[in-house]
Amino acid sequence: MSPNTTRLRGRTALVTGSTGGLGVAIAKALADQGAFVVVSGRDKERGDAVVAEIRAAGGQAGFVAADLGAGADEVLRLAQQAAESAGGPIDILVNNAGVWGLPEPTSEVSEQALLESYRTNVVAPFLLTGALVPAMVERGRGAIVNVGSITGLIGGDRSALYSSTKAAVHSLTKSWAVEYGPRGVRVNAVAPGPIATERAAEAADHLAPVLARIPSRRMSTPDEVAAAVVFLAGDDAANIHGTILSVDGGWAAA
């Protein structure tokens, strides 16, 4: 079987956090469009399974294990090994890996939780982008899609830690668009509302009142968010720079 379309044929993509949840849908969607996808996360077994699924569907993929909370050396190793796995420089970087949990009062957030969230959600994408973008600039082309969150655009009750990391991701998106757009690299973000991933059940009680006031009255599917990422990564979005595309069922508008 060959990939469904050829829109991204010949491109290489690295999707962080693609061993589970939303990242799996993004990896598969990019591969479906013909890209070679480097799947990454800490869990090799789940990563290998995603690669096997992509290959079984006729796509191309490889796996590189990395713990994005482990510091700069680990992030730089991922950047290097991703290019090796893909057989050339990375064209598309999707900064998707992120730590999220149930709402927690600010006064109960530990310093350790604060640092862990910032390390994975902000520091790692910052360092990974810094490691991969020079080769994109050198070739005069590249696309970076950051996964933010609607909670980084609006305030959230007991969500200060997570929301602030995602607001930082949105801010990085705009600054990088200004910094790298003139040199051929487009940087954009998606801001999902609640997504129906395997972990959604964990947040069911918290989400019920939210869903009741979202215009669509439902969560997004992972495939719906992945479609927005593929759009921003591809040439259909050739003149879109620094946008934060909400995929939230209208939550932010309500």
Surface-to-core class of residue 181, CB atoms within 10 Å of its CB (0-12 exposed, 13-18 middle, 19+ buried): middle
Kindly name the residue from 63, 162, 176, 180 that is annotated as catalytic: 162
Work out how close the CB of 100 gets to ligand NAP at its nearest, in angstroms, rounded to a whole number.
Answer: 5
Would you call 162 a catalytic residue per the annotation? yes
Residues 6+ apart with CB under 8 A from 26: 15, 18, 94, 96, 222, 225, 226, 229, 230
Report CA 131 to chain centroid distance, whole Å.
16
Cα distances from 104 to residues 34, 158, 170, 182, 219, in angstroms, run 41, 5, 22, 41, 21
Give the nearer residue to ligand NAP in terms of CB position, either 23 or 234.
23
Q: Is 147 among the residues that bind ligand NAP (CB under 6 A)?
A: yes
Q: Rounded to the nearest 5 degrees, what angle is found at the Cα of 189, between the Cα atoms of 188 and 191?
A: 155
Work out how close the CB of 195 gets to ligand NAP at its nearest, in angstroms, rounded to a whole number.
Answer: 4
Give the nearer residue to ligand NAP in terms of CB position, either 18 or 33.
18
| Residues within window 57-116 making contact with ligand NAP, judged by CB under 6 A | 66-69, 96-100
Binding range to ligand NAP, per CB under 6 A, among 7-15, 176-184, 194-202, 236-244:
194-202
Q: Which residue numbers are catalytic?
A: 162
Note the residues at the interface with ligand NAP (CB under 6 A): 17-23, 41-43, 46, 66-69, 96-100, 120, 147, 149, 192, 194-195, 197, 199
